Amino acid sequence: MTKINADLHGKVALVTGASSGLGAHFATVLAKAGAKVFIGARRIEALAALAQDINDAGGRAEAISLDVTNPASIESISDAVSQVDILVNNAGITRESAMLDMSEDDWDAVVDTNAKGVFLMTQAVARAMKARGTGGSIINIGSILGIRQGGMVSTYAASKAAALQLTKVSALELARYGIRVNAIAPGYFKTEMNAEFFESSAGQAMVKRISMRRLGNLDDLDGPLLLLASDSSQYMTGSVIEVDGGHLLSTL
Protein backbone atom coordinates (compact mmCIF):
# COMPACT_ATOMS: atom_id res chain seq x y z
CA MET A 1 0.00 0.00 0.00
CA THR A 2 1.32 3.45 -0.91
CA LYS A 3 1.88 5.61 2.13
CA ILE A 4 -0.25 8.77 2.20
CA ASN A 5 2.34 11.45 2.74
CA ALA A 6 2.03 15.22 2.51
CA ASP A 7 5.52 15.89 3.90
CA LEU A 8 7.08 18.48 1.61
CA HIS A 9 10.49 18.79 3.29
CA GLY A 10 13.16 19.14 0.58
CA LYS A 11 10.65 20.57 -1.91
CA VAL A 12 10.57 24.10 -3.29
CA ALA A 13 7.22 25.75 -4.03
CA LEU A 14 6.30 28.95 -5.81
CA VAL A 15 2.90 30.52 -5.13
CA THR A 16 1.75 33.36 -7.39
CA GLY A 17 -0.63 35.98 -6.04
CA ALA A 18 0.56 35.27 -2.50
CA SER A 19 0.15 38.81 -1.15
CA SER A 20 -3.42 38.18 0.05
CA GLY A 21 -6.34 35.76 0.20
CA LEU A 22 -6.02 32.19 -0.99
CA GLY A 23 -2.41 32.61 -2.16
CA ALA A 24 -1.15 33.84 1.22
CA HIS A 25 -2.94 30.88 2.83
CA PHE A 26 -1.54 28.36 0.33
CA ALA A 27 2.00 29.65 0.98
CA THR A 28 1.55 29.23 4.72
CA VAL A 29 0.15 25.69 4.35
CA LEU A 30 2.96 24.56 2.01
CA ALA A 31 5.58 26.05 4.34
CA LYS A 32 4.01 24.26 7.34
CA ALA A 33 4.23 21.01 5.35
CA GLY A 34 7.99 21.61 5.02
CA ALA A 35 8.43 23.23 1.60
CA LYS A 36 10.61 26.25 1.01
CA VAL A 37 8.17 28.73 -0.52
CA PHE A 38 8.79 31.55 -2.96
CA ILE A 39 5.89 33.98 -2.65
CA GLY A 40 5.24 36.20 -5.65
CA ALA A 41 2.94 39.15 -6.42
CA ARG A 42 3.15 42.87 -7.20
CA ARG A 43 2.63 44.22 -3.63
CA ILE A 44 6.06 43.49 -2.24
CA GLU A 45 5.39 44.98 1.23
CA ALA A 46 2.53 42.54 1.84
CA LEU A 47 4.75 39.69 0.66
CA ALA A 48 7.59 40.78 2.94
CA ALA A 49 5.23 40.74 5.93
CA LEU A 50 3.98 37.26 5.03
CA ALA A 51 7.52 35.97 4.53
CA GLN A 52 8.39 37.32 7.98
CA ASP A 53 5.37 35.54 9.54
CA ILE A 54 6.23 32.24 7.85
CA ASN A 55 9.91 32.47 8.79
CA ASP A 56 9.06 33.48 12.39
CA ALA A 57 6.86 30.37 12.62
CA GLY A 58 9.83 28.16 11.63
CA GLY A 59 9.07 27.89 7.91
CA ARG A 60 11.12 29.09 4.95
CA ALA A 61 9.70 31.78 2.67
CA GLU A 62 11.17 34.34 0.30
CA ALA A 63 9.24 37.27 -1.17
CA ILE A 64 9.70 37.91 -4.88
CA SER A 65 8.30 40.76 -6.95
CA LEU A 66 6.28 39.20 -9.77
CA ASP A 67 3.78 40.29 -12.39
CA VAL A 68 2.50 37.11 -14.04
CA THR A 69 1.31 39.01 -17.11
CA ASN A 70 4.80 40.28 -17.89
CA PRO A 71 7.40 37.91 -19.44
CA ALA A 72 10.25 40.23 -18.36
CA SER A 73 9.06 40.03 -14.74
CA ILE A 74 8.95 36.22 -14.95
CA GLU A 75 12.43 36.21 -16.51
CA SER A 76 13.68 38.35 -13.59
CA ILE A 77 12.81 35.53 -11.12
CA SER A 78 14.53 32.81 -13.18
CA ASP A 79 16.69 31.82 -10.21
CA ALA A 80 13.57 30.93 -8.19
CA VAL A 81 11.84 29.39 -11.23
CA SER A 82 14.80 27.06 -11.81
CA GLN A 83 14.34 25.49 -8.35
CA VAL A 84 10.58 24.92 -8.29
CA ASP A 85 9.07 21.48 -7.60
CA ILE A 86 5.55 22.77 -6.90
CA LEU A 87 3.98 25.71 -8.72
CA VAL A 88 0.66 27.14 -7.56
CA ASN A 89 -0.79 29.38 -10.28
CA ASN A 90 -3.07 31.35 -7.99
CA ALA A 91 -2.74 35.02 -9.12
CA GLY A 92 -6.10 36.22 -10.35
CA ILE A 93 -8.31 39.26 -10.72
CA THR A 94 -11.90 39.98 -11.67
CA ARG A 95 -13.79 42.88 -13.23
CA GLU A 96 -17.55 42.81 -12.95
CA SER A 97 -19.87 44.29 -15.49
CA ALA A 98 -22.64 43.25 -17.85
CA MET A 99 -21.14 41.66 -20.95
CA LEU A 100 -22.63 44.40 -23.13
CA ASP A 101 -20.77 47.03 -21.10
CA MET A 102 -17.48 45.17 -20.51
CA SER A 103 -14.59 47.27 -21.75
CA GLU A 104 -11.77 45.86 -23.81
CA ASP A 105 -9.33 47.00 -21.11
CA ASP A 106 -11.19 44.99 -18.47
CA TRP A 107 -11.34 41.95 -20.74
CA ASP A 108 -7.60 42.17 -21.40
CA ALA A 109 -6.66 42.70 -17.74
CA VAL A 110 -8.60 39.66 -16.55
CA VAL A 111 -7.67 37.33 -19.40
CA ASP A 112 -4.01 38.42 -19.26
CA THR A 113 -3.83 37.64 -15.53
CA ASN A 114 -6.03 34.56 -15.20
CA ALA A 115 -5.25 32.79 -18.47
CA LYS A 116 -2.07 34.18 -20.05
CA GLY A 117 -0.42 34.44 -16.63
CA VAL A 118 -1.05 30.73 -16.02
CA PHE A 119 0.35 29.91 -19.46
CA LEU A 120 3.50 32.04 -19.02
CA MET A 121 4.25 30.73 -15.52
CA THR A 122 3.55 27.11 -16.49
CA GLN A 123 5.80 27.39 -19.52
CA ALA A 124 8.69 28.95 -17.56
CA VAL A 125 8.50 26.51 -14.64
CA ALA A 126 7.84 23.41 -16.77
CA ARG A 127 10.80 24.23 -19.01
CA ALA A 128 13.01 24.37 -15.91
CA MET A 129 11.52 21.13 -14.51
CA LYS A 130 12.10 19.39 -17.85
CA ALA A 131 15.72 20.61 -17.96
CA ARG A 132 16.33 19.36 -14.38
CA GLY A 133 14.62 16.06 -15.14
CA THR A 134 13.00 16.01 -11.72
CA GLY A 135 9.34 16.31 -12.66
CA GLY A 136 7.04 18.33 -10.47
CA SER A 137 3.50 19.34 -9.65
CA ILE A 138 1.68 22.33 -11.08
CA ILE A 139 -1.59 23.37 -9.45
CA ASN A 140 -3.83 25.86 -11.22
CA ILE A 141 -6.45 27.72 -9.24
CA GLY A 142 -9.53 27.79 -11.42
CA SER A 143 -13.05 28.53 -10.26
CA ILE A 144 -16.49 26.98 -10.43
CA LEU A 145 -17.13 29.91 -12.81
CA GLY A 146 -14.82 28.14 -15.26
CA ILE A 147 -17.35 25.28 -15.29
CA ARG A 148 -20.74 26.97 -14.83
CA GLN A 149 -21.81 30.53 -15.51
CA GLY A 150 -22.99 33.58 -13.60
CA GLY A 151 -24.06 37.05 -14.69
CA MET A 152 -21.64 40.01 -14.77
CA VAL A 153 -18.49 37.89 -14.93
CA SER A 154 -18.07 37.15 -18.63
CA THR A 155 -14.35 37.87 -18.75
CA TYR A 156 -13.63 36.11 -15.44
CA ALA A 157 -15.62 32.99 -16.35
CA ALA A 158 -14.02 32.81 -19.81
CA SER A 159 -10.53 33.23 -18.34
CA LYS A 160 -11.12 30.49 -15.75
CA ALA A 161 -12.51 28.10 -18.39
CA ALA A 162 -9.29 28.78 -20.32
CA ALA A 163 -7.20 28.03 -17.23
CA LEU A 164 -9.01 24.71 -16.71
CA GLN A 165 -8.59 23.69 -20.35
CA LEU A 166 -4.92 24.76 -20.23
CA THR A 167 -4.57 22.49 -17.17
CA LYS A 168 -5.66 19.49 -19.22
CA VAL A 169 -3.59 20.25 -22.32
CA SER A 170 -0.49 20.96 -20.18
CA ALA A 171 -1.09 17.70 -18.29
CA LEU A 172 -1.29 15.81 -21.58
CA GLU A 173 1.92 17.32 -22.95
CA LEU A 174 3.99 17.30 -19.75
CA ALA A 175 3.22 13.84 -18.35
CA ARG A 176 6.18 12.41 -20.31
CA TYR A 177 8.50 14.64 -18.24
CA GLY A 178 7.01 13.54 -14.91
CA ILE A 179 5.26 16.88 -14.54
CA ARG A 180 1.70 16.62 -13.24
CA VAL A 181 -0.75 19.47 -13.84
CA ASN A 182 -4.02 19.59 -11.91
CA ALA A 183 -6.48 22.26 -10.87
CA ILE A 184 -8.57 23.24 -7.90
CA ALA A 185 -11.88 24.89 -8.75
CA PRO A 186 -12.92 26.73 -5.60
CA GLY A 187 -16.46 27.85 -4.95
CA TYR A 188 -16.85 31.05 -2.92
CA PHE A 189 -14.36 32.05 -0.24
CA LYS A 190 -14.50 35.54 1.29
CA THR A 191 -11.34 37.45 0.33
CA GLU A 192 -10.39 40.97 -0.84
CA MET A 193 -11.73 40.02 -4.27
CA ASN A 194 -15.35 39.60 -3.17
CA ALA A 195 -15.71 40.76 0.48
CA GLU A 196 -17.97 43.66 -0.50
CA PHE A 197 -20.29 41.38 -2.49
CA PHE A 198 -20.78 38.92 0.36
CA GLU A 199 -21.75 41.77 2.67
CA SER A 200 -24.57 42.74 0.26
CA SER A 201 -28.05 41.19 0.18
CA ALA A 202 -27.26 39.64 -3.24
CA GLY A 203 -24.19 38.00 -1.68
CA GLN A 204 -26.20 36.66 1.24
CA ALA A 205 -28.79 35.28 -1.21
CA MET A 206 -26.03 33.50 -3.10
CA VAL A 207 -24.81 31.79 0.08
CA LYS A 208 -28.30 30.28 0.42
CA ARG A 209 -27.84 28.60 -2.99
CA ILE A 210 -24.68 26.77 -1.83
CA SER A 211 -25.67 23.20 -0.89
CA MET A 212 -23.80 23.47 2.44
CA ARG A 213 -25.31 26.96 3.06
CA ARG A 214 -21.96 28.54 3.88
CA LEU A 215 -18.94 30.15 2.24
CA GLY A 216 -15.72 28.18 2.21
CA ASN A 217 -13.12 28.66 4.93
CA LEU A 218 -9.57 28.92 3.63
CA ASP A 219 -8.58 25.74 5.44
CA ASP A 220 -11.24 23.83 3.47
CA LEU A 221 -8.68 24.02 0.64
CA ASP A 222 -5.76 22.53 2.60
CA GLY A 223 -6.49 18.85 1.91
CA PRO A 224 -6.88 19.25 -1.87
CA LEU A 225 -3.79 21.53 -2.01
CA LEU A 226 -1.56 19.09 -0.12
CA LEU A 227 -2.94 16.13 -2.06
CA LEU A 228 -2.03 17.73 -5.40
CA ALA A 229 1.30 19.16 -4.17
CA SER A 230 2.55 15.85 -2.82
CA ASP A 231 3.25 12.39 -4.20
CA SER A 232 -0.03 11.26 -2.64
CA SER A 233 -1.54 12.25 -6.01
CA GLN A 234 1.23 10.60 -8.03
CA TYR A 235 -1.23 9.06 -10.55
CA MET A 236 -3.36 12.20 -10.93
CA THR A 237 -2.86 14.62 -13.78
CA GLY A 238 -5.34 16.76 -15.70
CA SER A 239 -7.79 16.52 -12.80
CA VAL A 240 -9.98 19.34 -11.57
CA ILE A 241 -10.95 19.14 -7.90
CA GLU A 242 -14.07 21.16 -7.11
CA VAL A 243 -14.07 22.58 -3.57
CA ASP A 244 -17.36 24.41 -3.36
CA GLY A 245 -19.60 23.02 -0.60
CA GLY A 246 -21.72 21.45 -3.33
CA HIS A 247 -22.42 24.77 -5.08
CA LEU A 248 -22.09 23.22 -8.56
CA LEU A 249 -24.86 20.79 -7.60
CA SER A 250 -27.44 23.56 -7.33
CA THR A 251 -30.52 22.69 -9.38
CA LEU A 252 -31.18 24.33 -12.72
Ligand X SMILES: NC(=O)c1ccc[n+]([C@@H]2O[C@H](COP(=O)([O-])OP(=O)(O)OC[C@H]3O[C@@H](n4cnc5c(N)ncnc54)[C@H](OP(=O)(O)O)[C@@H]3O)[C@@H](O)[C@H]2O)c1
Secondary structure class of 19 (helix, strand, coil): coil
Interacting residue ranges for ligand X, rule: CB under 6 A: 16-23, 41-43, 66-69, 90-93, 113, 117, 141, 143, 186, 188-189, 191-194
Q: 156, 177, 188, 235: which is the annotated catalytic residue?
A: 156
Catalytic residue flag (residue 156): yes
Residue pair 37/30 in contact by the 8 Å Cβ criterion: yes
Compute the distance between CA of residue 241 and CA of residue 227 in angstroms, rounded to an integer. Answer: 10
The residue among 151, 125, 180, 119 whose CA lies nearest residue 13 is 125
Q: Considering beta carbons, is residue 11 or 25 the nearer one to ligand X? A: 25
Helix extents (H) in the chain: 21-32, 44-56, 71-76, 78-81, 104-111, 117-132, 154-174, 195-199, 201-208, 222-229
Strand-by-strand arrangement of the 60-65 sheet? 60-65, 36-41, 12-16, 86-89, 136-141, 179-186, 240-243
Q: At its nearest, how many Å lie between ligand X and the CB of residue 23?
A: 5
Q: At its nearest, how many Å lie between ligand X and the CB of residue 83?
A: 19
Q: Considering beta carbons, is residue 77 or 179 the nearer one to ligand X? A: 77
Q: At its nearest, how many Å lie between ligand X and the CB of residue 40?
A: 6
Q: Considering beta carbons, is residue 38 or 189 the nearer one to ligand X? A: 189
Compute the distance between CA of residue 173 and CA of residue 160 in angstroms, rounded to an integer. Answer: 20
User: Which residues sit opposite 97 in a β-bridge?
Assistant: 153
Q: At its nearest, how many Å lie between ligand X and the CB of residue 160?
A: 7
Q: Considering beta carbons, is residue 7 or 53 the nearer one to ligand X? A: 53
Catalytic residues: 156
